[in-house]
Amino acid sequence: MRVLKLKKGDFVLFLKSLKRFGELWGPVKKGDSYVYARAEPENFDLKAIRTIIPAKKFFLPKKSTILKFKNGEWREHQEVVNRVIFGLHPCEIHALNIYHKFYSRLYPDTYYLKNREANLIIGLSCIPDDKCFCANTRTSVVDEGFDLFLTDLGDKFLVWIGSPKGETAIRHVGHLFETVTAEDIEDYITWRKERDEAFQLKIPLEGMPEIVSFSYESSIWDVMGEACLSCGTCTMVCPTCTCFDIQDEYDIKAEEMNRERLWYSCVYREYSMVAGGHNFREARSERLKLWYTHKLVGFMSKYGSPACVGCGRCIVSCPVEINILTVVKALKKEKTGAFWERMEVKNA
C-alpha cells in the first residue's frame, strides 16, 4: 500500500478535483451534531467525531424503490448515484467491511453492490471523545475497505492509497503529492501515540460471547425491557445493522405501484410477527436480547469479530441509556448508573 504526503493547503484543491467521480459528500456541523451532507470541501469539518446517521445510508438508503409496476408488468428499478464520500473514520470503514460481508457473500445483494461500486471512499483520522471505544473493538486502525485514507498531522496529511480507484483519483493531480520523509514518519508515530492515549472510555469485550450466552435467562433483560421504548433508534444509528422491510405503495388512479425497501429494526414489535398474528418475540426484553446476542455472539461466531465497531452512536442516542456500555456492565454484574437501573431502584 503506497503512502504519500499532501500539504494541508492543497486539501481543498484535491477534493475539488474529485468532482469528476461524482457528488462530494462529507461531515458538516448540524446543531450540536454532525451529518454527512453534500457540500463544498471548505465546509467539511475535519474535527467531526461521529455523524448522526452512519455511512451505510449511501449503500442501502433508508428508503429506496426496487421494483416498479406499470402497464401491467413489474420492472426492476435502482437509482445509483456516483459519490465521493469523505471523512469516514476507521470504525466507520470497519462497519462498512462488516456490511460488505453480510451483503456480498452468501446471498449477494445487487442493490448494495452497485451502490458500493459507485462510491469513492475517503477515510479520515480522528481523535476519540468520551463515547468512543474503538480501541476495545480493534477498529481504531483500518487497512482495507477504503480507496484513500488521510491522517491529519496538522500542516499535512499522510495519504494511504487503498485501491486501484484510489490510484486513479490522485493521478490527475499527482503534482500535489510528495514522497513521505523520515520526519513525516516521526510525526505520524507521535500522532498515533497521542491518539491512543486520548481514549477515555474502555469497554472490555473479552469473553462477552460466553457471558451473553450464559446470561440468556437473566432477569436483567426484563429490567431493561421495562424501560425500552422500542423506538428503533439504536438500530437506525448503528453502522452495522442490516435489517430492512419491503412495502408496496399503490396509486389506484394511475394503476401503478412501487415496491419500496426501507430500513427496519429487530426491536420493533412487528419484526417477529408472522401470519396468524403469532409473535415470536412479543416482549421487549426478548427483542433486546436478540439484538445484543447478534452483536456480541452471533456475528462473532460466524466472522470472528463482534458486530460492534466502538463508534459510540448507541451511547449517544438511546433516550433510556440502554446501550453497549450499560448492557456489558450489567451482564458483568457491575453498576451502570443508567436510567433503566435508576428506574428499577425507584420502583423497588
Position 348 scores a pLDDT of 43
- The whole-angstrom separation of Cα 6 and Cα 195 is 20
Position 344 scores a pLDDT of 61
- The whole-angstrom separation of Cα 33 and Cα 131 is 13
- Nearest in space to 6 (alpha carbons), one of 178, 219, 245, 128: 178
pLDDT tens by residue, 52-93:
999 999 999 999 999 999 888 999 999 999 999 999 999 999
Measured in degrees and rounded to the nearest 5, phi and psi for residue 249 equal -110, 120
Q: Per-residue pLDDT averaged across 201-230, rounded?
A: 90
Q: Residue ranges of the domains in the chain? A: 3-197, 208-347
pLDDT tens by residue, 313-347:
999 999 999 999 999 999 999 888 888 888 765 55
Helix (H, G, I), strand (E, B) or coil at 326: helix
DSSP label of 264 = -
Position 346 scores a pLDDT of 55
State the CB neighbour count (10 A cutoff) for residue 322.
Answer: 27
DSSP label of 297 = I
Cell numbers that stand for 145 in this block: 475497505
343/7: higher pLDDT = 7
Cell numbers that stand for 88 in this block: 469516514
- The whole-angstrom separation of Cα 138 and Cα 101 is 17
Question: What is the maximum alpha-carbon separation in the chain?
Answer: 70
DSSP label of 132 = -
Chain centroid, CA 64 distance in Å? 19
